[in-house]
Amino acid sequence: MAPQLQRHNGFDIFIHWFNAACWLFLAATGLGLIDNPALNPLGNGYPRVLRALFGSGGNLLLAHEIVGGLWIAAFLLYLVFNLRGALFFLREVFSVSPARDMTWMLKKQIQMTMGEKMLLRLGLDPHLPPQGFYNMGQKAFAQAAIVGSLVIALSGMVMVLSQLTLDSDRTILVAWAIMLHYLAAGVVFAGLLVHVYMAAIAREERPAFISMFTGTVPEDYARHHHLLWYEQVCGGAAPTPPPGALPLDPSRGAAPAPRKGG
Amino acid sequence: MSAQYAMIIDSSRCIDCRACVAACKVANKVPEGFWRNWVKQSLPVPVAGKPGRGHFQPGACMHCEKPSCVTACPTGATYKDASDGIVKIDPKLCIGCGNCIPACPYGARYRDPVRRIADKCNYCPERRAQGLAPACVDTCPTKARVFGDVNDPESEAGRLLRANTNRLVRVVNTKTDTQPHMYYLAATAPLDWPAEAVIRPPMAALIKAVTPGVSALVGLAAVGVAVMAGREFLAGKSKDHEPRDRS
């Protein structure tokens, strides 16, 4: 087996797949909760089928609310048990180096849709600028997912609270929450299509997909796709692997990461 | 033809006793400060030499053919039941967002302060299940309100509607005519009270901008993915992506 680098810890892997399962269920049931000929993004039959599947519209709403609550609770627990990991993730995701990352984003899109030859034809250097722990595409989706999830969670809570405590003269908040809930979910879903393709279908990113199960990526993949991170972990004087990450082979240069609480 | 339950009202019979309002409140446990039905008054205008005449107009949810409350509801919790033409509220699906309340030109809806969901006249389903007329109809001492399936030619409401085809009055706001199934016989007053149906800004934005915008964005992403997949799996992958030594 090729030398591996630790990329995700158990909490990351769990929350990623738990989130994926929740999103799938919440997107499917949420779309079924919209039923108005002026809206229905998938046609008028979809909400009918979903409601029949759950027995009634009320059951569908209840299931959506329960899973939505579990989803929020899981993220709160993730923050409690893996705060350092979460902060590392947030810092990486929101640190954008405009010149390098925008160039990467532009070139990557040309490369993925029209090929590297197009980059050459346009007189561009086919090399992409080196990327850190996340590349700009991953960062862009993560940013949308984080901001979108906050909007989705908060607006969802407003809708649940509407039935529990909200006064009649404040219902405009609920109406705005419904609009924002759909908007945020729609934007995240658009990004999700690209995320699923890049991670699970495109061959190039296969090691990253596998790392969402094993937690590790091959060293040469890290060097090729995340050079700045690779240099930080393997080449630099002060290696800083992600928290909780322990290089499988410490002899390769990376110091063992400090363990939380120990 | 499916049923269309409706009310035919001879408002000239109304004596403004409001027994219908009280009976409705009792039958439906309507919370204090709210009403599912009403009697509107046209005040007498004294003209020199003649005594002025007032007019009383009983009303309630009109179970419209084109209900703007249904248009304003994002979830279908408010819906027009195709089997009986009654505009209903699913209390388990309604979250009380309040969109439907200003959407009704007739002020027929309120948000129940206890259950925190929309509520309005539903023609007393519990009473009808026992073979009784809605409470307001049953209690009216002058029989100003007639209730029934107007699509059934044998029903009293159906016969009344057919017999008076040319003298039916619908009380509407012409800017947002919802085609009510509440018919007034011959003449009624007042006529100027229905408001314009209001679709609140968040719902209007959801209909006009957010839904088409999200569909376009998701469509764009899907096209992007399809192009990438086509390049990778159909056009045959060149050696574009062999790891390359950067030195």
Angle between helices A45-54 and A10-33 (to 10 degrees): 110
Which pLDDT score is estimated for A235? 74
Alpha helices in chain B (DSSP H): 19-28, 68-72, 100-103, 125-129, 135-139, 156-163, 201-205, 211-229
State the pTM of this model: 0.88
DSSP-based three-state secondary structure for B5: strand
Q: Chain B residues with CB inside 8 Å of A41's CB?
A: 211, 214-215
> Which stretches of chain B drop beneath a pLDDT of 70?
235-247
Domains of chain A, residue spans: 11-80
Q: Which pLDDT score is estimated for A186?
A: 97
Q: What is the pLDDT of residue A39?
A: 95
Per residue of chain A (262 residues), what is the pLDDT tens digit?
678 888 899 999 999 999 999 999 999 999 999 999 999 999 999 999 999 999 999 999 999 999 999 999 999 999 999 999 899 999 999 998 888 888 888 888 888 888 888 888 888 888 888 888 888 988 999 999 999 999 999 999 999 999 999 988 999 999 999 999 999 999 999 999 999 998 888 888 888 899 999 998 888 888 888 888 888 888 754 445 555 554 444 444 344 444 333 2
Q: Which of B73, B95, B222 sits opposite A162 (nearest CB)?
A: B95
Q: What is the pLDDT of residue A137?
A: 86
Find the residue in A nearest to B244 (Cα): A224
Q: What is the pLDDT of residue A121?
A: 87
Contact A147, A238 (CB under 8 A): no
pLDDT at position A128, please? Answer: 85
Cβ pair A197:B244 closer than 8 A? no
Distance from CA of B219 to the nearest CA of A (A): 8
Q: Which pLDDT does position B237 carry in this prediction?
A: 52
Q: Return the residue of A nearest to B111 by Cα.
A: A168
A250/B106 Cα distance (integer angstroms): 75
**C-alpha torsion sign, points A78, A82, A83, A86:** negative
* pLDDT of A245: 52
B96: chain A residues, CB-CB within 8 Å? 162-163, 166, 168, 171, 174
Rounded to 5 degrees, φ, ψ at A155 are -65, -35
CA A56 to chain B, closest CA, distance in angstroms equals: 9
For every residue of B158-203, DSSP letters joined together read HHHHHHTGGGEE----GGG----SEEEES--S--S--------HHH
Which of A178, A220, A227 is facing B74, going by the closest CB pair? Answer: A178
- Chain A positions touching B232 (Cβ under 8 A) are 202-203
| Cα B72 from Cα B18, distance rounded (Å) | 31
pLDDT at B236: 60
Point out the residue among A38, A164, A171 whose CB comes nearest to the CB of B97. A171
Q: Is residue B214 less than 8 Å (CB to CB) from chain A? A: yes
> Could you say which residues from 170 to 189 on chain B have a Cβ atom under 8 Å away from some Cβ of chain A?
none
| CB spacing of B221 vs A191 below 8 angstroms | yes
Contacts of B217 in chain A (CB under 8 A): 186-187, 190
B27: left (phi over 0), alpha (psi -120 to 50) or beta: alpha
The pLDDT assigned to B53 comes to 79
